[in-house]
Amino acid sequence: MILCFGELLLRLTAPGRELLMQSGRFDVHVGGAEANVAVGLASLGHASAMVSAVPDSPLGRGAVAALRAQGVDCSRVATRDGRMGLYFLSPGAGLRASDTVYDRAGSSFATAPAAAWDWDALLAGCTRLHLSGITPALGPDAANAAIAAAEAARARGLTISFDGNYRARLWEAWDSDPRGVLTRLVAMADLLFGNHRDVSLLLGEQFSGDGEDRRREAAEAAFAAFPNLKHIASTARHVDDADRHRLSARIDSRTGAVQTAEVAVSGIVDRIGGGDAFASGVLHALMSGQDDATAASWGLAVAALKHSLPGDFSLFRQADIDAFLSGGLDVRR
């Protein structure tokens, strides 16, 4: 079983590509980076569990119910005093980019001290821990909890995947040391979801993402700095406009790299959660014993498919991956 540790959120989206508060109406979805991965893996047939904390309120109970409905084990989600974390989204349109507003300070999860989590019990029966850089960005309590989780997982011989997910607005809201905290976490991971910008932050050295050779240079520097790392998985995204992006995927190992061709993703319904969908596709492949090339192509397939689905969750199965890779777009009957 893979255990995902992070905050459950409610996403309030302005409908019809409106600006926030243009009409005062919102569509509500449940999300959160680690929760999205848990749902994506459950949809792909893996046993996944969530560790988080929510308030004992209709909002908290509803968020947990949404994960449970998708097959995620929520027995490790605690209830605590505090509030439900929220974020607001104004979807992009044409040449206007999407924009988010966070409203998660003082949430039940963000204020939980590291001592609130009993990792002996929480990690029982698990083989992998999945974390992201969003959790430690929430504040000192969450940062210490993420480090404690990774240390406990390492001590028990679990593998650890870590998604950089750098969120400047969250780190800048407190007296933080993102490089110091993230370096400690990546040092314990065997799989990093991140690109040359993440490596630049971690190592304090600038790397370019222009061309495969430069991306390989960043990966080799990360492998040299972090001996436990075995794989680095990343995507490259070129945004033509809000409705058309071009995506490719890449996986670096210590002995080489594989990179997919670029695919055009048009008619985008919702891009939020695309990176988490990629992570679930890559993890699905690697946990199924597939090679790096297959992991890159499956990750890209799930990420591209996620752009067709409203909400944060990826709800696709292996049959959907196979259909995407076969190139057939006609109705399946």
Residue numbers annotated as active site: 276
Say how far apart CA 104 and CA 32 lie, in whole Å.
12
Strands 159-163 and 128-132: parallel
Nearest of 106, 116, 182 to residue 138 by alpha carbon: 106
Q: Rounded to an integer, what distance in angstroms lies between the CA atom of residue 241 and that of residue 93?
A: 8
160 with 184: CB under 8 angstroms? no
Q: For the chain, report the end-to-end CA distance as a whole number of angstroms.
A: 34
Please name the residues in contact with 210: beta carbons below 8 A apart, sequence gap of 6 or more. none
Antiparallel, parallel or unpaired: β 244-253 and 256-259: antiparallel
- Tokens standing for 64? 């947990």
- DSSP summary character for residue 116: G
* φ and ψ at residue 4, rounded to 5 degrees: -110, 125
Q: Which of 170, 161, 163 is nearest to 275 (CA)?
A: 163
Helix, strand counts (H, E) of the chain = 12, 14
User: Over the range 169-204, which residues count as b (16 or more CB within 10 Å of their CB) and which as e?
Assistant: ebbeeeebebeebbbbbbbbbbbbbbbbbbbbbbbe
Q: Show Cβ contacts of residue 196 under 8 Å, excluding neighbours closer than 6 positions.
A: 207, 208, 209, 214, 215, 218
| Separation CA 103–CA 197 (nearest Å) | 26
Which token pair is 86? 């929220």
Residues 6+ apart with CB under 8 A from 35: 4, 6, 8, 9, 50, 52, 67, 72, 312
